Amino acid sequence: MTENAWRRATRRWARWRDRVRDRPALDIAYRMVVAVVGLAVLVVGIITIPYPGPGWAIVFLGLAILATEFSWAGKVLHAVRARYDRFMAWFSTQPHWVRGIGVLFTAAVVVATLWVLGAVGWVAALVGIETPWLKSPLGLGG
């Protein structure tokens, strides 16, 4: 998308949003939809942080969605992003054994959540292992 096309799209969006703001009931409904969608994306991101993949990117996306309508979310987004960047810069300078502990901790969190959600017991049942301690404490899975 060219810069001119981006500007036109932004102006078009701003005009549409202004028309929505002029109608209080529609504005409240729109803000509620943004809040629900933004919070849902944020929760999914928080849940997926320890898993391989884009957990933090999803958190930032959820906060960005919320920041389109709520100024507090923009402040939180900038603060969380700054802390994330500082932590990752610090973590990358640590010795291999510290990074290894981080990897082991992340793996432990992943395995523990998969166990609680019943995935470990389900996979064990698929391969014919029927050990009670592999079953989810919540009664989920196989």
Stretches where the chain sits below pLDDT 50 are: none
pLDDT digits (tens, 9 = 90+) for 70-110: 999 999 999 999 999 999 999 999 999 999 998 898 889 88
The answer to whether residues 25 and 70 belong to one domain is yes
Give the residue carrying structure tokens 């610090």: 90
Distance CA 130, CA 96 (A): 38
The answer to whether residues 18 and 88 belong to one domain is yes
The answer to whether residues 111 and 76 belong to one domain is no
The answer to whether residues 6 and 65 belong to one domain is yes
The answer to whether residues 119 and 139 belong to one domain is yes
pTM (two decimals): 0.74
Q: Residue 11 phi/psi, 5° resolution?
A: -65, -40
Asked if residues 122 and 142 have their Cβ atoms less than 8 Å apart, the reply is yes
Which pLDDT value is given to residue 125?
82
For residue 16, what are the CA distances in angstroms to 23, 43, 62? 11, 28, 22
The answer to whether residues 32 and 75 belong to one domain is yes
Its domain, for residue 133, covers 94-142
Which pLDDT value is given to residue 141?
66
Q: Let me know how many helices (H) and strands (E) the chain has, helices first.
A: 6, 0
- In the chain, how many domains are there? 2
Distance CA 40, CA 47 (A): 11
